[in-house]
Structure 1
Amino acid sequence: MKQWIMLLLVVTFFQGSQPYTGNPRYDFPERIVKKNGTGFGYLTGNMNDLCVSGYYRESNIYEDSVMGPADPVKVTLKNQMQVDARELILKEAKKYRILLINEAHHRPEHRLFTKSLLKDLHKIGYNVFMAEGIKLKNGIADIGYPISSDGVFINEPVYGSLIRYAKRIGYDVNAYEYDSGKKNWDDSIKLDKYGSIKYINYEPRDSIVLLFDEKGLKQTILTSVRERAQAANILEVIKRHPASRFVIHVGYGHLYESGPMMATQLKELLQGEEMLTIDQTAVTDRVRVIDTVTSHIIRRYFPFILKDNNSKRTVNLERSVDYLIFNKEVTDSLHRPKYLFEDVEPRTTYYPSTDNLKDCPCLFSAYYQNELEAAQQQAIAVDIVNIKDAHIPAPMLLYKGRYIIVRKNKEGIYNNFKLTVK
Structure 2
Amino acid sequence: MKKIAIAIVIGFGALAVHAAPAQRDASKNPADDFFKAFNAQPDTFAEYRFLTSPVVQQDEYARNLSTQMLATHLSFLGRPVDALQSFPYRGSNAPQSDLPVPSDWMTVPASDWIAVQADAYRVIMVNEAHHAPQTRVLTIALLQRLRAKGYTHLAVEALLNDGTDPMPGGYPVRKSGIYTREPIFAELLREAVRLGYALLPYEPNDQGEQTQQQRESGQARAIAAVLAENPTSKVLVHAGYAHIGEAQEGLPDDARPMAMELATMSGLALLTIDQTSTRSHEAGDIDTVGRRLATQFAVDVASVLVSIEGDNAWSNRPGLNDASVLLPATPTQVLRPDWLALEGKRQAVAIDLTGCLGHLPCLAEARHADEGDDAIPADQFLMLVAGEAATPLYLAPGRYRLRLLGADGATLSDQSLQVATRPTPPSARTP
Change (3 A) 1:236 1:289: closer
| Cα deviation, residue 27, structure 1 | 5.0
User: Please, which of 160, 175, 195 is the counterpart of residue 135 of structure 1?
Assistant: 160
In the alignment, which of 400, 403, 412 is matched to residue 400 of structure 2?
A: 403
Name the structure with the higher helix share. 2
Name structure 1 gaps, 5 residues minimum.
Answer: 1-21, 184-200, 207-222
Q: Aligned partners of 1:110, 1:281: CA distance in 2, in Å? A: 8
Relative contact order higher in (CA < 8 Å, ≥ 6 apart): 1
Number of the residue aligned with 2:309: 310
Equivalent position amino acid for 1:238 in 2: L
- Residue 112 of structure 1 aligns with an amino acid whose one-letter code is V
Aligned residue number for residue 410 of structure 2: 413
Task: Classify the secondary structure of the residue corresponding to 1:230.
Answer: helix
Which one of the candidate residues 265, 275, 278 is aligned to 1:280?
A: 275
Distance of aligned partners of 1:119 and 1:82 in 2 relative to their CA distance in 1, 3 Å threshold = same
2:195 to 135, 146, 169: 169
1:80, distance to aligned residue in structure 2 (A):
1.8
Q: Is 1:321–2:321 an aligned residue pair?
A: yes
Instruction: Classify 1:143/1:409 alpha carbon distance in 2 versus 1 (closer, same or farther; 3 Å).
Output: closer
Shift of 1:89: 0.8
2:346–2:394 Cα contact (<8 Å) kept: no
Please say if 1:45 is aligned against 2:69: yes
Question: Among residues 239, 243, 248, which one is paired with 2:237 in the alignment?
Answer: 248
Contact preservation (8 Å) 1:350, 1:398: no
Query: Is the 2:246–2:257 contact (alpha carbons within 8 Å) kept by the matching residues of 1?
Result: yes
Q: Percent identity over the alignment?
A: 24
C-alpha change, 1:142 and 1:288, in structure 2 (3 Å) is closer
Q: Which amino acid aligns with 1:396?
A: L
260, 266, 270: which one aligns with 1:270: 266
Change (3 A) 1:224 1:114: same
Select 2:100's aligned residue among 69, 75, 91. 75
- CA 1:268–1:344 in 2, change beyond 3 Å: closer, same or farther? farther
Match of 2:79 in 1: 55
Give the CA deviation at 1:161: 0.6
Q: CA RMSD in A?
A: 3.0
Q: How far apart, CA to CA, are the structure 1 residues paired with 2:398 and 2:176?
A: 23
- Asked if the contact 2:353/2:389 (under 8 Å) is kept, the reply is no
2:275 match: secondary structure: strand
Residue in structure 2 matched with residue 125 of structure 1 by the alignment: 150
Q: Verify the 8 A CA contact 1:290 1:298 in the aligned structure 2.
A: no
User: Which residue identity does 1:397 align to in structure 2?
Assistant: Y
- Paired with 1:248 and 1:291, the residues of 2 have a C-alpha distance of 25
Q: Does 1:236 align with 2:231?
A: no
Are positions 1:84 and 2:84 aligned together? no
Query: Given the alignment, which residue of 115, 121, 136 partners 1:111?
Result: 136
2:377 to 369, 372, 381: 381
Query: AA paired with 1:94?
Result: D
Count the aligned residue pairs. Answer: 356
Distance 1:164 1:54, change over 3 A: same
Question: Does the alignment pair 1:102 with 2:127?
Answer: yes
State the partner residue of 1:147: 173
Q: TM-score, normalised by structure 1?
A: 0.76
Deviation at 1:361, TM superposition (A): 4.4
Shift of 1:105: 0.6
Once the two structures are superposed, residues 52-86 of structure 1 have per-residue CA deviations (whole angstroms, 9 ceiling, x without a partner) of 22221111014435x52645784322222222222
Pairwise CA distance, 1:241: 3.5
> For the Cα contact (< 8 Å) 1:146–1:154, is it kept in 2?
yes
Q: Aligned partner of 1:350: which letter?
A: A
Output one character per residue of 1:70-129: Cα deviation in whole Å (capped at 9) or x when no partner. Answer: 457843222222222221111011111111111111111111111011111111111211
One-letter code aligned to 2:376: I
Query: Cα–Cα, structure 1 residues 157 and 391, in superposed 2: closer, same or farther, change >3 Å?
Result: closer
Q: Which residues of structure 2 form unaligned runs of 5+?
A: 1-40, 249-255, 421-431
Letter in 2 for 1:274: A
The aligned residue for residue 368 of structure 1 is: 368
- What is the rounded CA distance, in whole Å, between the counterparts of 1:158 and 1:291 in structure 2? 22
Q: 1:28, 1:363 within 8 Å by CA — same for their partners in 2?
A: no
Q: Look up the equivalent residue of 1:421 and give its one-letter code.
A: V
Kept in 2: contact 1:29–1:55 (CA 8 A): no
Does residue 1:156 correspond to 2:177, yes or no?
no
